[in-house]
């Protein structure tokens, strides 16, 4: 599970890197933007799937304090999914092309939230998984 989560995080970070490159340009390039957005969404999907499995796996294997940390991560994941859905709904291709600078500003705000989430997952889940996967 830890390897799967690391790969998902790597894919998500790769998607962020691709989107960073695209949004650093002064204008929208539809193909590049669509490709980067797809890569980012695939990394997000892989991470969500990995997290759901991990949360179920850890549920009966953690201390009360660790369970609380996991509940906080689950709440953050749900908030991030809602934020991501709202971002995608707000920024259809036509809207992105019509307001590229606005899109880039919103993307950077979303990127900040997503990066913080990844860092929290790494900080909490990597140590929990590395100890418990060997014991299972």
Instruction: Compute the distance between CA of residue 85 and CA of residue 104 in angstroms, rounded to an integer.
Output: 17
Q: Tell me the domain boundaries of the chain.
A: 2-135
Q: List, for residues 10-56, the tens digit of each pLDDT value.
A: 999 999 999 999 999 999 899 999 999 999 999 999 999 999 999 99
Note the pTM of the prediction, 2 decimals.
Answer: 0.90
pLDDT value of residue 131: 72
Residue 2: partners with Cβ closer than 8 Å, 6 or more residues away: 125, 126, 129, 130, 133
For tokens 């996991």, what's the residue? 70
């Amino acid at each position: 599970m830890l390897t799967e989560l690391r790969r998902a995080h790597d894919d998500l970070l790769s998607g962020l890197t691709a989107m960073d490159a695209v949004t650093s340009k002064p204008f929208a390039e539809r193909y590049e933007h669509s490709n980067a957005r797809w890569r980012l969404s695939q990394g997000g999907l892989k991470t969500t799937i990995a997290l759901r499995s991990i949360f179920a796996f850890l549920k009966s294997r953690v201390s009360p304090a660790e369970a609380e940390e996991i509940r906080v991560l689950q709440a953050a994941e749900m908030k991030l999914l809602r934020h991501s859905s709202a971002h995608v709904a707000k920024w259809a291709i036509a809207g992105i092309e019509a307001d590229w600078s606005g899109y880039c500003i919103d993307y950077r705000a979303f990127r900040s939230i997503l990066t913080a989430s990844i860092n929290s997952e790494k900080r909490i889940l990597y140590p929990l998984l590395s100890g418990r996967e060997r014991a299972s």
